[in-house]
Amino acid sequence: MLIRGRGIAKGRGEGPLLVSPAPLSFLSGVDPATGIIVEKGHPLQNQSIAGKVLAFPYGKGSTVGSYVLYALSRNGHAPAAIVNTEAESIIATGAIIGKIPMIDHIEIPMDRLRNGVHVVVDGEAGEMTYDGELV
């Protein structure tokens, strides 16, 4: 199934979906050395984002979050791609400098996406190929 959105950061990334209903802060919310979500009480706490297509509503927190995304990329623990409901400048900047494909404004509600489904994100075209059933 082809899901259209808006391209934010160029590139193509693929992997299993990791979907969060909650916003995410990369500064103090994600360990840049491991890619593990460490934010206390976050729905994805203790899960790795490395190599996954990370889908979450939007980012929160400090502008340093952009550099955490860049560090994750440099350390080999970045998500394969990012899908947001609404991209904001912190996450978009981090995706661009970290060369992480990113889209937002997808045409279906994020809560219909299933964890673990293999997807391909094309940041230039603003599209996601979804290889599974929707919730």
Q: Which residues belong to the active site?
A: 62
Closest CA to 123 of 34, 16, 24, 8: 8
Length of the chain: 135
Q: Report which residue type is found at 123.
A: G
Bridge-based pairing of strands 118-122 and 12-19 is antiparallel
Rounded to whole angstroms, the Cα distance separating 5 from 125 reads: 8
Cβ–Cβ < 8 Å for 48, 36: yes
Distant-in-sequence, close-in-space partners of 29: CB < 8 Å, separation ≥ 6: 37, 38, 39, 42, 61, 65
